[in-house]
Structure formats: C-alpha cells, structure tokens
Amino acid sequence: MDFKHYLQVLKDNTPYDFSNYSDNSIKRRLQKVILDNGLTIDELLDKTQTDKGFVERLVEDITVNTTELFRDPEIWPQFYEKLYPALKGKKTFNIWHAGCSSGMEVYSNMIILNELGLLEQARIFATDISLGMVRQCTNGSYRYEFNKKQLSDFEDIIKKSPIQGISKIDFNKYFDFDLENDRINIKDFLKKKVEIRQHDLVQEKVPFYNKFDVIFCRNVLIYFNANLQSKIYQMFHNQLYPKGSMILGNHESLTGFYKTKFSKNGPLYTKTNVFHFKYQ
C-alpha cells in the first residue's frame, strides 16, 4: 500500500493529519499497525472511515510514547541553572509540556519546582495528541520496577551537580510507592495542579489562551519533517512571552531561519525580540 495515500484518507476522514511526519518512521509504524491488527488494506480503509475507537487506537499506536521520570537526568541541573533566575522573581509563570506522553516529564519538573519553592507560583499545562496518553497523564500511576533506576540515576546526578543547591530529594513527598502492585502513584496535590488536554500540534489552533514562560517539547518534533517542525517553532515563538524559553530534546536543534528567532542559552532556546535585533 502507498502509505502517503493512506495518510491522505486518514486526513480527509478524521481530525488527524500525519502527512508531514518523517517518512521513515511513519511508514514503519503504519506497517506495524497493519501487521499487528491482521488487516487487509480494504479493512483498514473501511475502519479508518467508520470506526472512531479504531482511529484513536491507531493514533496511539503510530505515535511513539517513550518517556521516563527525569529523562536525561544530567540535563535537569542545566535547565534550572538557566531557568531559576528567570522564574524566581515572578508572581506567577506558565509552563506548557507539549507532547507530554504519560506525564513523567510533567511530574518530574513539578517535583523540582516544589523543591525550589517555585511550585505555588507555577501554572502547569500539559497536552498530547493521544487520548490514551492524556488519560495516563491524568492518572499519574507508573510501574515501579521499570522506573526505579531512573530515580536512582537522578539521585546520583543531583548529588554531584545540585540543582540550585538541591542535592537530595525525598520522593515520599511526591509518590505513594505501592511495591506489592509494582506501582508508583503521583500524589494528588501534584496531579490536581496540572491542566491536561488532548491537543494536536499539527492543527494550527493553540490549546490555551495564555502565553508561556517555558515550553517543554522534548522528543516530539523528531517525528515531524523539517517543514512541519518550522511551523511548530513559529507557533511556540508566538506563544512564548518575550524572553520565554523553549526546551527541546537532547538531540534536537534549531536550524536555518529559526536560529535567529531564538538564542541558544545552554540547553534552552530563548525567544529573542525582533526589536532587540534592530538596535543591537
């Protein structure tokens, strides 16, 4: 089957448009869905046009949802070396996790904010295209065995490079550990604080009215082609306050035109004002 043709059918009949995802990966993901479901091409086309539940599951299956608590542990001290001075004086500030997956990045960040005494001022927003992920993010319940190494890696990192003086975190403040059932459950006070919504970055509409001080979008845009990436950078640029920052994944970087709209600030991309540019 010509996968481009299929993506067109999907686009014409559902809210989802994957036609500007990276060819290699979307093609492979689609092939896998077809194989796993044991569908013929006609059945696939038919289900796509008539079965809403199928389409939601398809979106879950073709997107990549890998995430970890404190993913890339060594990067968090670097984030906060730059973010802390910018956030600490503010009465309130807004953070958006775009492509939040099951929420691990969201809660990891909130834990650090709380340790730094910044959680109260923070307004936290999280979005993902996948309904399944939105649900998991809302539930905030993860497998223990699978995640304990991440927690201990993170502990090792901050012992060596403290985050603004924080070198130790008591995770019992944030998690209920239910080892019998292999669960880590996020405490309610964190869960209640996040506004979680299903939102597709590909659609031009923005999910919230307010602007942002920080936008996390790590390991999401790597699945998009360069054209679509540019559109999203533009959208983030519009949604950031002046001097707001965008955080990309460890192996993502801005190229071409957008290099001039953000300045690289350690691991952050900080919005530069056109105004400043003119008079420098």
Smallest separation (angstroms) from ligand SAM to the CB of 127:
6
Q: Which of residues 218-237 bind other proteins (CB under 8 A)?
A: 219, 221-223, 226, 229
**214 vs 272 by CB, closer to ligand SAM:** 214
Of residues 16-75, which lie at the interface with other proteins (CB under 8 A)? 22-25, 29, 64, 66, 74
Size of the residue set binding other proteins (CB under 8 A): 20
Chosen from ligand SAM, other proteins, none, partner binding at 176 (C-beta under 5 to 8 Å by type):
none
Q: Interface residues for other proteins in 238-257 (CB under 8 A)?
A: 249-253, 255
Closest CB to ligand SAM among residues 49, 65: 65
Nearer to ligand SAM, 129 or 196 (CB): 129
Strand partners, 224: 21
Residue 155 as a binder of other proteins (CB under 8 A): the answer is: no
Q: Indicate whether 136 belongs to the interface with other proteins (CB under 8 A).
A: no
Residue nearer to ligand SAM on the CB measure, 67 or 94: 67
Shortest spacing between CB 203 and other proteins, in angstroms: 22
| Sites of contact with ligand SAM (CB under 6 A) | 63-67, 71, 99, 101, 105, 128-130, 133, 200-202, 218-220, 249
What is the C-alpha to C-alpha distance for residues 106 and 140, in angstroms, rounded to an integer?
A: 10
The least distance separating ligand SAM from the CB of residue 58, rounded to whole angstroms, comes to 12
Compute the C-alpha angle 69/70/76, nearest 5°. Answer: 165
Distance from C-alpha of 1 to C-alpha of 120, rounded to nearest angstrom = 52
Nearest distance from residue 178's CB to other proteins, in Å?
25
Say how far apart CA 200 and CA 129 lie, in whole Å.
5
List interacting residues with other proteins (CB under 8 A).
22-25, 29, 64, 66, 74, 219, 221-223, 226, 229, 249-253, 255
